[in-house]
Amino acid sequence: MPLVRIDHAQSHPEGFGRAVGEIVYRAMMEEIFVPADDKFQIITTHSANEINIPKSYLGIEYTQGIVFIQITLNAGRTVELKKKFYQRIANDLHAELKVRKEDVFISLVEVAKENWSFGNGEMQYEPR
């Protein structure tokens, strides 16, 4: 836990997705208290025609530089922690990789702990 999926356009420079992953991982450890070495990430680069977004939504204008970050994680974090987490990722991506904050799309998918198997066909997190 967690499983991070990062999707971005191939117009970004080589190594961009991995750099995003490092920023997300650092924010997870420092803002939502994910343990060290709990780093499972799938990074996918897409051609321009594989990203279908609106020009704007909820007053936010998007560009083809959008970065999608979907994180599946254990349920239970507070709204305040999530807000700080979203801000941290957007701020760090902007500061370190020059991604527009408007182009940082984050989705959290919360699951119960028993919905994970990290290998061996076993349930490592037993329900309490």
> Active-site residues: which are they?
2
Q: Tell me the backbone φ, ψ of residue 73, rounded to 5 degrees.
A: -150, 165
Burial class (CB within 10 angstroms; exposed 0-12, middle 13-18, buried 19+) of 127:
exposed
Angstrom distances, CA of residue 8 to CA of 40, 69, 103: 17, 9, 10
| Spatial separation of the C-alpha atoms in residues 63 and 53, rounded to whole Å | 8
| Sequence letter at residue 79 | V
Angle, helix 16-31 to helix 79-97, in steps of 10 degrees: 150
